[in-house]
Amino acid sequence: MSRALEALFAPSSVAIVGASADSAKWGNVLARGALAGMHRRPVYLVNRSGGEILGQRSLPSLDDIPEPPELVVVSVPASGFEAAIVEALAAGARAIVVVSAGLGETGAEGQVRERAVVERVRAAGAVMLGPNCLGVFDAAQELDLGWSELPPGSIGLVSQSGNLALELARLARDAGLGFSRFASIGNQADLVAADLVDSLVAHEQTRLIALYLEDFRDGRAFVAAAARARAAGKPVLLLTGGVTGASARAALSHTGALVSDARAVEAACRAAGIVAVTTPGRLIDAALALLPARPVAGRRVAVFGDGGGHGVVAVDLLAARGLEVAPLSEQLRKRLGELLPPAAILTNPVDLVGGGERDLANYARVGDELLGADEVDAVLLTGYFGGYSIDSPALADEEAHAASLLADAAARAGKALVVHTMYPSAPVATVLRSAAVPTYGDIERAADALALLHRYRRRHAGPAERPAHGRVLSNLPRPVAGYSGARALLRAAGVDVVEAREAHTLDEVLAGAAALGYPVALKAVDLLHKSDSGGVALGLDDPESLTRAFAAIRARHAGSALSVERLAPVADGVELIAGAIRDPRFGPIVLVGLGGIYAEILRDTAVALAPLGEDAAEALIRSLRGAPLLTGARGRAKLDLAAAARAVAAISEVAVACEDVEQIEANPLLVTPTGALALDARIVLLGVESPA
């Protein structure tokens, strides 16, 4: 699957087409970058007018180059796009980077031009990055085309925005991090994000993959590549843009209304173990935590510092993130007490009360005790540490030594130590970071780092998080629109559906009820919001009340088909919504949530890529805020979570198996102590307008 991109990142020779002597032009930046690598590989500058560029003679055409240029960078006006590619391929290019803008991003005509060129490139067995991109970078190869600010390091970066890459570079440098490779991917006409992720998975110097994407192209291919990265032990961090808007599918089912584009990305991240971030700053924060990747096996954090305020603030921040700062054991407090002045506070947070100031090594000694204790899963040092060398330069060596001992203690314990210092540019920050201790200048970010490390391990270690594929359903009937079509399809997939009789006349209604047995419910079908519009009557105990309900519903919904249904034991259970939609980028996505109006008003829903095995479906249900309603909280009955999970898994499998099903849902799906029963169903077929 993965396309070998060595010609792109590690070319044996480079040509810049559109190299320029004008320092205001990108062709000049590219030429300068290329020339900086001349000791590694031949560099050819091509400019139609010829002449000298940055002290190097340029050539009028690629034809004049004495050898095939393995990598060709094209930075010419859009009008010259096709000609430049033809020339590059003729010259023998294996990889082409197209900086030129004004193509696919401007509309349909440009996209047609791009597609035609991609066919030629692929026919020649070459690859193309762009158009409308900024260039490529490989630290180990000393290849820096279009970029000049990237510190070297172990982050592989793929970005659809130049400015965001620039900001990431600045933030990474400040944090002591750097980049192994960078590709600006522009319009992704040939090479797409998934290809670049795959190349970074294979790239030894890359230990973490950072992405800024506005367009995922084939979302499933992207997810598969990200999952391969995760499996290779390389965390994938994703910053997305432009995914706020609800999609056009909104009106046709509740599931459709609830799965926005952003939630589809959330499902993709869940499936591939991607860490989603909201800003460049949070991306670098997360990289700082995940690159050393000391595990946080549990929730129990010990907090310490010299001075109380920061510790107290940290406790609140950690608690808000689901971590625990519990009192330390008597035994541990005793050992700490032996190290510290009598006034020191030995609960958790631990306040050295001058014990650090008196002897900076106490920071390391206390950290060592806390990190070594079985009752502690991770340690946070917060506050002034780092400031001694700032306020008293004579203490610089002593403080750096303490930092180094502290980092050793964390390494010995194999546990995460995260440090917040009021002085993030202090020398100890460098000491700590280079010794695999994530160090932040902001207490909130330090707390976020601990929460991420805990979540990251939990998400990707537990059994429910193994790639859990559903069954392949092969014997499903051809999907049919309408309420009975939805019921039939769900039933065929193994979902229990409430017993019902379709009816149009009063006689049929009464006959249906007689067959099912009273009490019954009567519904007008083929309405999206049946309950809201007076299309449902519940608890009909006898033919008289059924007759009255028939008249009332007929008066409101004259033409609608009706369904007589056995009354469900709603008082015994909890209603969920379980549905699936087909996302144009990520394919079938499954959604579960608290049912009925709660789904749309309280937005307690969770999403995942379909198909989903039963374990993963159960984990998805358990991730709801309202999950305790199902699991017997506060003395309530324990409901049949396994049955609910089976129904969710089955719906996810239907969405995968039936390619013409755009949306399908059971809503409500009544979960009782003994099963899960779909009380209502909807299906939307591709190209069919009306909901059902």
User: Which residues are at the interface with its own copies (CB under 8 A)?
Assistant: 101-102, 106, 159-164, 166-167, 170, 212, 214, 239-244, 262, 278-282, 305-310, 312-313, 315-317, 319-320, 343, 383-384, 387, 422-423, 442-444, 529, 532-533, 597-598, 600-604, 625-626, 628-629, 633-636
Cα distances from 422 to residues 77, 309, 407, in angstroms, run: 50, 12, 18
Nearer to its own copies, 133 or 490 (CB): 133
Residue 70 beta carbon to its own copies: minimum distance, rounded to whole angstroms:
30
Nearer to its own copies, 309 or 467 (CB): 309
Nearer to its own copies, 50 or 176 (CB): 176
Residue 488 beta carbon to its own copies: minimum distance, rounded to whole angstroms:
28
Which residue in this structure is represented by tokens 């349909």? 108
Nearer to its own copies, 499 or 600 (CB): 600
Torsion sign, CA atoms 126, 129, 132, 137? negative
The C-alpha atoms of residue 309 and residue 492 are separated, in whole angstroms, by: 61
* DSSP tag of 300: B
Residue 624 beta carbon to its own copies: minimum distance, rounded to whole angstroms:
10
Q: Give the helix/strand (H/E) hosting 383.
A: strand 378-383
Residues 10/183, Cβ–Cβ less than 8 Å: no
Cα distances from 355 to residues 172, 358, 363, 367, in angstroms, run: 34, 5, 8, 13
Nearer to its own copies, 163 or 505 (CB): 163
Residue 95 beta carbon to its own copies: minimum distance, rounded to whole angstroms:
24
Question: CB-side exposure of 581: number of CA atoms within 13 Å?
Answer: 25
Nearer to its own copies, 586 or 598 (CB): 598
Nearer to its own copies, 166 or 435 (CB): 166
Residue 161 beta carbon to its own copies: minimum distance, rounded to whole angstroms:
2
Nearer to its own copies, 633 or 686 (CB): 633
Alpha-carbon Rg for the chain, nearest whole angstrom, is 31
Cα distances from 642 to residues 250, 439, 658, in angstroms, run: 30, 43, 24
Residues 105/187, Cβ–Cβ less than 8 Å: yes
Name which of 482, 484, 453, 278 is nearest 380 in CA terms.
453
Name which of 451, 454, 408 is nearest 432 in CA terms.
408
Residue 569 beta carbon to its own copies: minimum distance, rounded to whole angstroms:
14
Residue 437 beta carbon to its own copies: minimum distance, rounded to whole angstroms:
20
Please list, in sequence order, all residues whose beta carbon lies within 8 angstroms of the beta carbon of residue 559, skipping any fewer than 6 positions away: none
The C-alpha atoms of residue 487 and residue 490 are separated, in whole angstroms, by: 5
Residue 244 beta carbon to its own copies: minimum distance, rounded to whole angstroms:
5
Tokens at residue 660, please? 């013409």
